[in-house]
Structure 1
């Protein structure tokens, strides 16, 4: 990608007319408020199949009735240059494909789609049209993970990674692997700069027979020999997020790092450090700028949209483009196949 002169960049970013396809809670509570906090975006129009959601979100954010659409075709012709696809996961593929075919840059919430073949088609479509395809795996924007990744070299050769994800909320229609474990899978790949994964072994259980999985356990081995262990569990009966375990722990030959999943908390021990030897695991605070009343998750959601903006204006790939999202899908499909057949599966088997 070429470097864009500042003068040209300013012209490109004066106003990017953008639309939102899918007006559910994540649109209303997260992405639309963040659009209004990014000066270069101008929210032009909304699209949803539900008249009630269109009305509720449109009224809340001052989008006039003539710019609220139930028809995708009319929505795509409403003068927008980019779209946030925030519809339910089963509709990601068809909605992203339609948006790309309409010549629009696309940000889609994770996962990019449900199947590898769908993902490959979307990546090819975006590439052939020179359009940005960004995917909302946003935990790499959290300050604690950025700091923990910088500190990995201090703990020596990595031997093991433990990823624990307990949640009060998981979309039962998607299941825990697709809806929630996908966050942790991407985070593992991000920490290790998207390594080759040798094999995945998964075991899953539904809450009730006939439903999708809500308890997921995965073992995986990466190139270089480091192994990862995932424990993903739906615990709605606990009622309180504060009592849940949600973290990433990286264990090396000379130390260990633990980062909270969403809170700005990092703990570190490495044998070559005097503080570590004196007190053991100790907290280190990530430096980041945020308003004290704004949750770090909201700040990180905004950063991924700022990255989407910059990818368009600087004509570069976004932090998580379609190709990186394909690696997540390959891991997910390997896990599904492993759970069905009770064996180790290489992601290369499902993504030759």
Structure 2
């Protein structure tokens, strides 16, 4: 295993400079604490774009050239999902810190292997659960932690649009990790999942999935699709005191807090009279103008430099993969699937 001396910047290599990978590379190249030294992609246009974004980085089509480079301290993996495990495992075995785009891996067994390997090699392993770095969702987590929302009862999200259609993962695997990471942060560990979906465009690849995930007494309902006329990115969280809605398609007011609920009325003799609907004010909190991807990249670099676990570490990625795997079983077998640990 390679060992690295502490430097002012982290020397980073990136594997994958596709549609999302170029956004990661743009942010890495702009952060002072990152020194992008190598980029890898099999596509000539992607490498040309990488040269524009990170002109000082060595370009290659061979991932092993990045993984085996002693000058590389950390590897960012932004490939197609089926390659996440292969590249992350090789990077950790080479003694690199690793950032993997979501999901961490395709199976629980693979994800557990990566978490164990990172601990064994004392390397930072981080997953790109981007919404955990979104100012609106960070504010919701703060409000919930203070108890302003009361007891968290349920969450539901709609993440739909027309395209991008995947071939090697269904709509739930592709879109749900964002919301599952948020649900875990707010509701705790998932205990069971029931999922239904249909494969209209490609046999065996669900284009639309409706899933109910249980978190003890709380619930999360997720609607994911790439076959929909609308682009919707909305999450609603219902608490006993207040309710929060994050709508990422809103240009300005992305977060609204509703002082609404149903309260018990003391001394009422009948059930109907014992409950009173409360409709209070709507608050629109100020959110800092931060790009979530930039915050995410900075967290990865800070975790390396400070020798600590990142906010969305390997365990966070593993727990999301547990739900994804259970949802695939539920889709295949048409039943509720408990999530064992």
TM class by smaller structure? 0.7 to 0.9
- Summarize deviations over 1:1-34 as a string: whole Å, max 9, x none: xxxxxxxxxx945121111111212122x11111
> Does 2:136 correspond to 1:144?
yes
- Pick the aligned partner of 1:100 from 59, 84, 92: 92
- Summarize deviations over 1:117-152 as a string: whole Å, max 9, x none: 111111111111100111000101111112222233
> Does 2:236 correspond to 1:249?
yes
Return the alpha-carbon distance in structure 2 between the equivalents of residues 155 and 58 of structure 1. 47
The change in CA–CA distance for 1:87 and 1:255 in structure 2 (over 3 A counts) is same
What residue number does 1:168 align with? 162
- Pick the aligned partner of 1:178 from 162, 168, 173: 173
What residue number does 1:84 align with? 76
The change in CA–CA distance for 1:281 and 1:145 in structure 2 (over 3 A counts) is farther
Return the alpha-carbon distance in structure 2 between the equivalents of residues 177 and 13 of structure 1. 40
What residue number does 1:5 align with? none
Report if the CA contact (8 A) 1:149-1:191 is conserved: yes
What residue number does 1:57 align with? 50
What residue number does 1:22 align with? 16
What residue number does 2:271 align with? none
What residue number does 1:206 align with? 199
What secondary structure is seen at the aligned counterpart in 1 of 2:36? strand
Q: In structure 2, list runs of 5 or more residues that go unmatched.
A: 262-276
What's the C-alpha RMSD, in Å, of the aligned pairs? 2.2
The change in CA–CA distance for 1:161 and 1:114 in structure 2 (over 3 A counts) is same
Cα deviation for residue 210 of structure 1 reads 0.9
What residue number does 2:266 align with? none
Cα deviation for residue 60 of structure 1 reads 4.9
Cα deviation for residue 338 of structure 1 reads 1.1
Cα deviation for residue 186 of structure 1 reads 1.4
Report if the CA contact (8 A) 1:265-1:286 is conserved: no
Query: How many residue pairs get matched?
Result: 316
The change in CA–CA distance for 1:51 and 1:13 in structure 2 (over 3 A counts) is same
The change in CA–CA distance for 1:12 and 1:201 in structure 2 (over 3 A counts) is same
What secondary structure is seen at the aligned counterpart in 2 of 1:210? coil
Return the alpha-carbon distance in structure 2 between the equivalents of residues 253 and 15 of structure 1. 46
- Pick the aligned partner of 1:45 from 25, 38, 56: 38
Cα deviation for residue 280 of structure 1 reads 4.2
The change in CA–CA distance for 1:262 and 1:141 in structure 2 (over 3 A counts) is farther
Report if the CA contact (8 A) 2:260-2:278 is conserved: no
TM-score norm. by structure 2 comes to 0.86
Return the alpha-carbon distance in structure 2 between the equivalents of residues 325 and 60 of structure 1. 28
Return the alpha-carbon distance in structure 2 between the equivalents of residues 46 and 254 of structure 1. 49
TM-score norm. by structure 1 comes to 0.83
Cα deviation for residue 71 of structure 1 reads 2.4
> Does 2:311 correspond to 1:319?
yes
Q: Which residues in structure 2 correspond to 1:150-299 (within 5 Å)?
A: 150-152=142-144, 153-173=147-167, 174-192=169-187, 195-208=188-201, 210-223=203-216, 225-235=217-227, 238=229, 244-261=231-248, 263=250, 265-271=254-260, 280=280, 282-290=282-290, 299=291
The change in CA–CA distance for 1:145 and 1:59 in structure 2 (over 3 A counts) is closer
Report if the CA contact (8 A) 2:12-2:38 is conserved: yes
- Pick the aligned partner of 1:128 from 106, 117, 120: 120
The change in CA–CA distance for 1:60 and 1:330 in structure 2 (over 3 A counts) is closer
What secondary structure is seen at the aligned counterpart in 1 of 2:191? strand
What secondary structure is seen at the aligned counterpart in 2 of 1:254? coil
What residue number does 2:326 align with? 334
Deviates more, 1:102-111 or 1:259-268: 259-268
- Summarize deviations over 1:22-70 as a string: whole Å, max 9, x none: 1212122x11111122101111011122344323422453246xx2122
Return the alpha-carbon distance in structure 2 between the equivalents of residues 17 and 251 of structure 1. 43
Structure number with higher strand proportion = 2
- Summarize deviations over 1:105-125 as a string: whole Å, max 9, x none: 111100011111111111111
